[in-house]
Structure 1
Amino acid sequence: MVVNSSRSEAAGKELAAGLPDAVHVQGDVADPADARRIVQSAIDAYGRLDILVNNAGTTRFIPWTTSRPRTSRSGGRSST
């Protein structure tokens, strides 16, 4: 298993140390060069990459004054 962290190298290393045969690779998956390096690290360590789980999440602040309500007659979200 390859454990990746973009900001907290210490936490990533600690997590990897507690998992059997895991390695830690520091990098930002939003950066294409880092993403390639992370995948290559898995291939180098284990010979291949079988499964990838992307658990990265981001958000951005949107002031409520600039948002529009979304409504539809069916009660669900509209496509606009």
Structure 2
Amino acid sequence: MNELRAVAIGPDRTEIVVGFGTNEELAAWYRSEVEVSEEEWADYTVSDFPLDKKLEWEDAGEMTLRELVADCSDFPIIAGWED
């Protein structure tokens, strides 16, 4: 899959992962980056997150997620979080 996409991963506060691949591939990368036990992972959900919807970012102001990561060249990344 060559299209940039984003997923929200987490039980309550979700972290936003941006990269190339399926939800499962991005979730596997995320799990390799953070320590989440099997027991904790059972409470996590993985869902699509919009790249092109304007959102308010704490340090960057209002912009789309695609605009926020435009200067990034290495993916996947954890681009932020959402409560």
Q: Do both share a fold (TM > 0.5)?
A: no
- Give the structure with the higher percent strand: 2
- Give the structure with the higher percent helix: 1
More contact order relative to length (CA 8 Å, sep ≥ 6): 2
TM-score using structure 1 length: 0.30
Question: Which structure has the larger Rg?
Answer: 1
TM-score using structure 2 length: 0.29
